[in-house]
Each structure stands twice: as C-alpha cells, then as structure tokens.
Structure 1
C-alpha cells in the first residue's frame, strides 16, 4: 500500500485534491487566565510565567477569589497566626484563613500549612469539589481516585493534561477554576450562577458581574489619579502592567474588582454623516466608519444646534465597544495613523457638476479601517503602506517607505531585541495583497523577526516602539480548511477523462482528424501472481499493443492518483507517510508539478505544452472551512494533495495561492498544544476540529475527542511564517 500512496502523492498534483480535517481552539485557556486576573485569583504579572507551579498558598487565593467570600478578603486583616509557617502578615494569610474556615483546604497535623508546597491535581480537585458543596464521604471509592473520578464526571478536568500526583501550573489552575464555574454544584445548578455569572453551553458570561460595578467612561486630563491601586489593568482590552493615564485617555474602573480599563484608541477625520438627525445625533460617520455617541454631552458637541456636524474635523476618543466617549476639535484633533491599503475606488459625483471622487480604505494599526477621500489622479494599490494625517484642514494619505528592524520578541512580549515595546503598542500583520489583522504582543512571545518580517514601525517620545507593521509573520491571515475528497475526486476525474479524451479525438493544427492513440503496455508478473504494472517495472513481461480509449487512460491515471481517504489518514497515523517525506513532496511546487506532468505525459502521450495549459486552466477546490463547505476557485491547479490546506487571499476574497499543510500524528493533547513524537506543537486559537467518517466531515470540539478513543491527525502551517507552525486543523477518526 505504501508504494501506491507514494505514487499518488507524486502524481496527484495535476488531478486530485483530497481529504482534511480542522481543529477547534484548545478550550478556554486565554479566557480562563483573563478571568482569573479579573477576579484577583492571580496577578497580571503571572501571565509571563503561566508554566510556574502553583503553591498551596496561591491556590487558596484562587479558591477564595472564585467564591462569595472574595469581597470580604480585605476585612480579614493581619489578625493572629493561623499556622506556625504562615504568619498573619503573609499575603496569603487572609485567603488561607477563609479557605480553611470553609473546609476547602486544611493544614497538617504538625501545625503547618506548607503554603509553598506545590498543589497537586488531586489536592486541587478535592478542594474544588468541597467548594461546590460535595461531601467527600458520599463519593464512590477512596481517595484520591474517588475525587478524580467525580471531577472528570463534572467536567472539572476538561483540557487538563495532568495525572495523579502531578503539580498544576497557573494556566492549568485557571482552566480548572473556569471549569468550576461551568460545573454543577451539589445543589444541581451551574456553580457560576451563584456568583452572579451567566453560564450557557459551557461558557461563562462575566459581563453582568463586571458591568454592575463599572464606573465610567471618564476622560483623563494628564493629572488624573485613580481612587485605588488596581490589581488588574487592561489597556485597549489587553492585559497591561501600567495604570498610567495620559491626556485624552478614556478609562473605566471597578473598585470592587480592583480593575481599570484604559483606552487610547482614536477615530479622526471629517464627519461625513450624522444620524438620525443633525440637531439630535446619536451616531456619526468619520473616515468611513460609524460610531455611537456615548452620552448626551458628546452628542451636543456635534449637534448642528451648536455649530457641529457634517464637515467638521474631529478626533473621537473611543472607549468600550468603540463608543465615542469624548470629542476633540481644532488643532488638538491632529492625529496620525499608519496602515495598509485595502482597496481604492472611483465613483461619479454630481454636486457641482459631474466629477470623479476617489476613496481609499486603509486598515490601520489600531484595527480600524478608515476610508479617506484622495486626489482622483493618484493610485493607491492594495497592499501599500500609507500614513493618514488629520488636521483642522482635513485628511491626507501618503505612501510611506519601508522602515525595518529585527530582533527577538522577549518571553514577556515587552521588547523587540533591545527596543522596548510601548505598553499600548499596536501591532498589525499584513500581506502584500493588503489583507491585515491586529496581533496581541503575547502572540509573538519568543519569536525572532528578521528585517524582512518588519515592514514599518514608529516610536513614541520615550523611544518605545508603539506601532509595528509585520509582513505575514503569524500565518493567521491565511484561510485554513480541509479538502473534501469525495467532491474533488469526482470533479477532477471527470476533468481528467475529458482532457485525455480531447487528445484522442481532436485533429491536428491543420484540422486533420487524429487517429485514436495507441499505447504499448506490458503485463508484469511479480512475486504475487496476477500483479500488473506499467512498462519499466522488473519481472517477466509480455508486450501487447492496444488501442487506448479516454476512459481506459483515465482509469490508469486514477489508479495512481486516487487512494481512499482512509489510506491517507492511516498512512500518516501508522507512519507509512512520514512528515519528512510529505515535506519533500509538497515544499517544492515546481518539482512536484514537473513529476506529475511527466507521469501523465508518459501515460497519455500528451505534449508537454498542452499539459501545462491544462494545469493553467484553473480548478475549483471544495473544502470545509470553520465547519462549513466552501469552494475555492483558482486560476491554476495547485499541488494540494490531501488533508489540511491553506489559502492566501486577495482583499477581494479571490485566491492568490494554495499550499499544503504538514501532517503529524498526535500522541497527547494539552490545554493549548499537542505532542507528537516528543515534540510540542502549539494550536492556533481558531484551530478547527473534525470527526471523519466514511468520507464525511463533521465539525466538533476538541473536548469531545481524545487520544484514547480516537486517532488524531494534526495539520500545521510550515510555509515560512516566523510565528507560524501552529496546528490549524485536527482530524479525528474513532477507533471502531
């Protein structure tokens, strides 16, 4: 079977697109960590050390933070010494006191608590079960198996790749506590509801709790001081270590949650529309985007009754959900934005006679697409880097030259080489076609960027990099999916048969009808009787001359090109198709195509030029993307063979190129990564997961499949993105 598979991989480039399976992101790791920080279960500084072991003292803090006692921690004070190794002055003392009083944790018979000991899986789930109100004496079995079994039954161990006796790290404890909110308590209802959260379909909506204690928006004037020292800080919805407020920053805070949200986003340009009326607007359109006015005070500033409205050049100060919390006008409204051109268009206007108006849409580093009117005679192709300047006179767009740098993003994602990243740094990944998307700094942790990876950057007054435009560094801008083998095989077989038939019935260039093509085949007797092969194989042969029809030749080619889906899947799982072989076959498009051309030319006798024309005739690839069946129509046929594929698109959605993903056999699944042969591969946040059965793909979640009951095949991008090599697709095949 291996020989047949390799023959398929070599020749399929011109005729077949097959198989594949995506992967859903590994649970709620990021959400769990963010929630833990918000509830003061852990510090924002610990996001840089999520792999650090959690101690018993630190876990006591988590337990209390996820309980109704979290509001009363401050009232505990430094009263007495509960354990001889835990003085009242310890930061963990109030949390341990509450956890012990409630019976979630206990000390040792020698009078110690051992707060610096690592918390193990069985200790953690036992404490959580008690938090949920379960009585240990009512569990079936003995410690710790009874507790571990009950935790699995409730879903507490979902995405926790730990066994009995193993210590938990901060990320794993955050996931455990998130699972606690979604699990049923002893009373039968989701535990999170008792804390005021909304729990639905295994997800926790924390907004109701946070919004009830939220104050704001406020506009900082440069001297503003918060009424408390925040434990958790978010800047532009990202975890931050600095609560510094600069002039015109928009901020909100929750004193009970000890949390502050700071926004530095701006929308600047000329107001081109107001709604619903000029005198009483509730929203305005600036630079092509519409924003809700956050208050009556803001609305009055752009009301026509106060001289504002359409034509006015403003800078909107944006807060949560991009609502306009404030407005700045005049010279103070001057702003500069950087981004990549998405599109440009010209249209007819007939205001003062007929003329042409050109608009350019620019995706900026802050994630906002701005549309600006420019001179109709200028050209702004998609993919150009540009600068938008806004002044009281209006907006201007100019192309900017490349400004590159290089270095390694440190593990804390606070510096690029020796250059510090600003706390509110804006990072934009782009392609030369103009496709773009914002990137959180932590996404680039530990990544080395070459000068070709950085298209542009700017620095603030402190010399910190505050804007960074990248060149397809993450791989996240590509569209990932799996090939629908049944659909593609049927279409390609029909196309191939028609293509071959055209050279057996069509005339030559002078119009003379061609005679049917005759080919010589040889019957080969191998080790097993009845084995046949094409000319050139070893063994005793008997030559016969036959007139080959289109169907016969197409059948011969399809025998090489069309193995079953299960052959490909199990070839990877069993090791018959090694990753090294796969990479060699798919990494060099020209080489793969030329091999495919030669094999088909040998079988059909078709001139090489005509085969090239066939390849260049385009194709339609039927795929599953994010659980839905879609079709990619391309200008040429790409050598995508089987399984996971990646498509690079224009801003219009048309396909620029398609490449094959690399396969790997998954041995173990972690919270946000998988293990294959001892090597760890991170999963993409939006990884897709499919169950494959008899040629059909069924979108599912990673929590519903495992390496015990399923064979898992991962597909990761390996086409050169510095922050790539993420598992994008996972195919699960049930063992039965």
Structure 2
C-alpha cells in the first residue's frame, strides 16, 4: 500500500493520537465514540453514529455476526434458499441468517421460525459471540444457558454492557459487545479475535484498527458531482460503513454531498467501508478536498530539486511537507504546471481565521 494512502486513512478516521499504542485503556474503555469507530471500521455495523438507543433485531444481529467473521468475504447480497419459514430467500438478511444458522451461531424456534424482527437478548447474543470465539455446546456440559453466561462473564465480554441475560440489546450495547469480542482471545487461535479481521491490539490491550484500515485499501478516487457512488466501489454502498471527514456518517449523507459537489473516497472492500472527504468550502478544519489547476510549483532557495508548496488557480498556497508529496510534484513526479488535480489536504485555521493547507494525497484528473 502506498504511504500517502495510509497517511490519509490514519488522519481521516479522526482518531488522531488516540490510535497510537500509548493510548490509555481508560480512554477506550469509557469512550463510546472510539468504540463505535472501531466497530464501524471493522465493518461489523453500518452507520454507528445514529440510532444508538434503537433495539437490534435478531435478523440484524445475525448480519453483525457474519460481518464479524471470515464469512464476510463470501456474503452474497441475496439468498438462494429459505432456512426458516418466516425468512424468505428475498428477505434483507436472509443470507446472513442462513450462514449464522448453518454455523450454529443462532437458533430458531419451534415450528421452524426464526422471528427475525424480534429484538435480540443478551443471552441469545452471548451464544453467537462465544461461537465466534470457538466455543461449542460441548464446552458447556448439560446446563448450556447458565454455563454459557458464566463463560461470557468470565471472559469479561460484558464490559460496559449493563444488561441482564433476558434484556434486549440496543445498537450501543452491540457496539460494546463486538468491541469486547475483538479484544478477547479466541479459543481456536489463542490470539485476540481482532486478528481474524486484520486488526491488532496495542500495548494497552485495546483495539487498534489501523491494520484493518490499511488492508487492501483502494483510492483515492474522485467522485464527480451528481455521480452514482456505487459506480466507484465494488460493493453495495447502502450496506457500507461510511465515514465523512473522519466522522461516522450514512449513505444518505454521502449521497447528498455528491449531489451538490465532488467528493474524494477511499474504500476497503473486505470491510465494506468508505472514507470520504468533501470540498474545502464545507470544512472548517481537518481533512478536505480541493480541486483546481496547478499554477505554480515553488522550491526552496537551498534545495532547487525539492518543492515546498504549490498554488492552484484559486490563488491559495498548499504546502508539501511529506517526501512522497514533494516527489509527486517535483521534476521526477507526474504532476506539472497546468495539470488539473484534486488535493486531499489537512486544513487548519489560526486565531485570525486564516487557513493553512498541507497536501497529504492527490488525484490526477
């Protein structure tokens, strides 16, 4: 993976210093914002920023289980069979329910029903989470339910999860539950479950998702005004986890931005995650996209081979601080005066409101 793409992701998910190994355990343990971003980047839940108090259905939870497993790479958009009488093959989560049932992560009810719209309880969710960790019915003897819950608590999978076994879970509960899953050692591998999805733990035992973000990242891609976002990524955008300028967002919000202006995106096909950056005029600070024609490339007086900044036809100066950006705009690179480019920049403002831009990536038009 190119270093400029990694740099874009590292700052783009707005973790800042929080993702570095010296982040305190307290911050992750008590910060739902951090946890929801980790779960979102891992591709387990879509749109982790809204509806946190909404109950999660059994159908939705089956989908989360599959997305938290290696089966995520083989999850078809439609199912060819109906496993339960009340889950037709055309149902939204039919494929996920079929996979989860076949793997014994979920069970149905008497009469061949799954009750997909019924809210998931902690006890039901614990079964699926423990199954992902490699535990089977044989591990719990004759008293399955109580033994499962005892193991669930022993593994501290209930961290930040104040629910009784028969209580239903909301989206916030599921964020905590799947974050706890990622931190817990798998019975099968003996390593943190996060490694299954390409993540790793930092020195404080919390999840550092940058490994996943760096895996098979594609981009940047320029999505022009009025375009169909689905034409730029090889998966269903409406089912993706979406971040706009580092904050968890939604398909509708991204669609709205594209309808009025251009957007630059990166995506991870495995995690079905999109990182989008919107036009400069809509951003006060942080990452933004700027589009224009290169008018000047400036060099320092002490090093005439290494460019220090450029200007576009908007008259604004854009600093080149990384060696890769300096190379791209140097005589050895591919960008020349007169070329049209889209820049991904780090924007900051001083107390007078004057903006400074540093280029971290680019797209050649």
Question: Given the two structures, how large is their TM-score scaled by the length of structure 2?
Answer: 0.69
Q: Distance in 1 between matches of 2:356 and 2:210?
A: 36
Q: Distance in 2 between matches of 1:315 and 1:287?
A: 14
**How far off its partner does 1:94 sit?**
0.5
Q: Distance in 2 between matches of 1:193 and 1:210?
A: 13
Is the 2:265–2:274 contact (alpha carbons within 8 Å) kept by the matching residues of 1? yes
Q: Which residue of 1 aligns with 2:167?
A: 166
**How far off its partner does 1:270 sit?**
9.5
**How far off its partner does 1:36 sit?**
3.3
Cα 1:315–1:306 change in 2 (3 A) is closer
Q: Distance in 1 between matches of 2:155 and 2:301?
A: 50
Q: Which residue of 2 aligns with 1:462?
A: none
Instruction: Tell me the secondary structure at the aligned position of residue 207 of structure 2.
Output: strand
Q: Which residue of 2 aligns with 1:108?
A: 109
Q: 1:206 aligns with which of 204, 209, 233?
A: 209
Q: Distance in 2 between matches of 1:262 and 1:55?
A: 29
Is the 2:305–2:331 contact (alpha carbons within 8 Å) kept by the matching residues of 1? no
Q: Which residue of 2 aligns with 1:53?
A: 55
Q: Tell me the number of residue pairs that the alignment of Structure 1 and Structure 2 aligns.
A: 300
**How far off its partner does 1:120 sit?**
1.1
Q: Distance in 1 between matches of 2:159 and 2:135?
A: 19
Q: Distance in 2 between matches of 1:288 and 1:96?
A: 50
Cα 1:27–1:219 change in 2 (3 A) is same
Q: Which residue of 1 aligns with 2:15?
A: none
Q: 2:67 aligns with which of 57, 65, 85?
A: 65
Cα 1:168–1:301 change in 2 (3 A) is farther
Is the 1:271–1:287 contact (alpha carbons within 8 Å) kept by the matching residues of 2? no
Instruction: Tell me the secondary structure at the aligned position of residue 252 of structure 1.
Output: strand
Q: Distance in 2 between matches of 1:266 and 1:165?
A: 48
Q: Which residue of 1 aligns with 2:7?
A: none
Is the 1:275–1:284 contact (alpha carbons within 8 Å) kept by the matching residues of 2? no
Q: Which residue of 1 aligns with 2:80?
A: 79
Q: Distance in 2 between matches of 1:274 and 1:34?
A: 40
Q: Which residue of 1 aligns with 2:329?
A: 299
Q: Which residue of 1 aligns with 2:150?
A: 149
**How far off its partner does 1:295 sit?**
4.9
**How far off its partner does 1:79 sit?**
1.2
**How far off its partner does 1:266 sit?**
5.6
Q: Which residue of 2 aligns with 1:254?
A: 268
Q: Distance in 2 between matches of 1:66 and 1:197?
A: 12
C-alpha deviations, 1:144-170, integer Å up to 9, x for none?
332222112212111111122111111
Q: Which residue of 1 aligns with 2:284?
A: none
Q: Distance in 2 between matches of 1:39 and 1:275?
A: 46
Cα 1:248–1:183 change in 2 (3 A) is same
Q: Distance in 2 between matches of 1:389 and 1:138?
A: 59
Is the 1:86–1:115 contact (alpha carbons within 8 Å) kept by the matching residues of 2? yes
**How far off its partner does 1:288 sit?**
9.9
**How far off its partner does 1:95 sit?**
0.5
C-alpha deviations, 1:278-324, integer Å up to 9, x for none?
3244x549979663265577413898x9679xxxxx998225xx4xx
Cα 1:171–1:217 change in 2 (3 A) is same
Q: Which residue of 2 aligns with 1:263?
A: 277
1:318 aligns with 2:344: yes
Q: Which residue of 2 aligns with 1:232?
A: 241
C-alpha deviations, 1:610-646, integer Å up to 9, x for none?
xxxxxxxxxxxxxxxxxxxxxxxxxxxxxxxxxxxxx
Q: Decide which structure has greater strand share.
A: 1
**How far off its partner does 1:139 sit?**
3.2
Q: Distance in 1 between matches of 2:245 and 2:73?
A: 26
**How far off its partner does 1:274 sit?**
4.9
Is the 1:266–1:315 contact (alpha carbons within 8 Å) kept by the matching residues of 2? no
Q: 1:218 aligns with which of 217, 221, 226?
A: 221
Mapping of residues 418-433 of structure 1, within 5 Å: none
Cα 1:302–1:224 change in 2 (3 A) is farther
Give the greater-gyration-radius structure (CA): 1
Is the 2:266–2:276 contact (alpha carbons within 8 Å) kept by the matching residues of 1? yes
Q: Distance in 2 between matches of 1:167 and 1:58?
A: 13
Cα 1:298–1:154 change in 2 (3 A) is same
Mapping of residues 443-482 of structure 1, within 5 Å: none
Q: Distance in 1 between matches of 2:191 and 2:166?
A: 30
Instruction: Tell me the secondary structure at the aligned position of residue 49 of structure 2.
Output: helix
**How far off its partner does 1:61 sit?**
0.6
Mapping of residues 627-638 of structure 1, within 5 Å: none
Cα 1:280–1:167 change in 2 (3 A) is same
Is the 1:293–1:299 contact (alpha carbons within 8 Å) kept by the matching residues of 2? no
Question: Root-mean-square deviation (CA), in Å?
Answer: 3.8
Q: Distance in 2 between matches of 1:170 and 1:157?
A: 15
Is the 2:36–2:175 contact (alpha carbons within 8 Å) kept by the matching residues of 1? yes
Instruction: Tell me the secondary structure at the aligned position of residue 80 of structure 2.
Output: coil
Is the 2:349–2:355 contact (alpha carbons within 8 Å) kept by the matching residues of 1? no
Q: 2:254 aligns with which of 238, 242, 260?
A: 242
C-alpha deviations, 1:552-572, integer Å up to 9, x for none?
xxxxxxxxxxxxxxxxxxxxx
Q: Which runs of 5 or more structure 1 residues have no equivalent in the other structure?
A: 1-22, 309-313, 323-365, 371-381, 391-736
Cα 1:186–1:276 change in 2 (3 A) is farther
Q: Distance in 2 between matches of 1:204 and 1:389?
A: 33
Q: Distance in 1 between matches of 2:302 and 2:63?
A: 50
Instruction: Tell me the secondary structure at the aligned position of residue 107 of structure 2.
Output: coil
Q: Distance in 2 between matches of 1:102 and 1:212?
A: 26
C-alpha deviations, 1:633-672, integer Å up to 9, x for none?
xxxxxxxxxxxxxxxxxxxxxxxxxxxxxxxxxxxxxxxx
Q: Distance in 1 between matches of 2:302 and 2:27?
A: 41
Q: Which residue of 1 aligns with 2:8?
A: none
Q: Distance in 1 between matches of 2:261 and 2:304?
A: 29
Instruction: Tell me the secondary structure at the aligned position of residue 215 of structure 1.
Output: strand
Is the 1:248–1:317 contact (alpha carbons within 8 Å) kept by the matching residues of 2? no
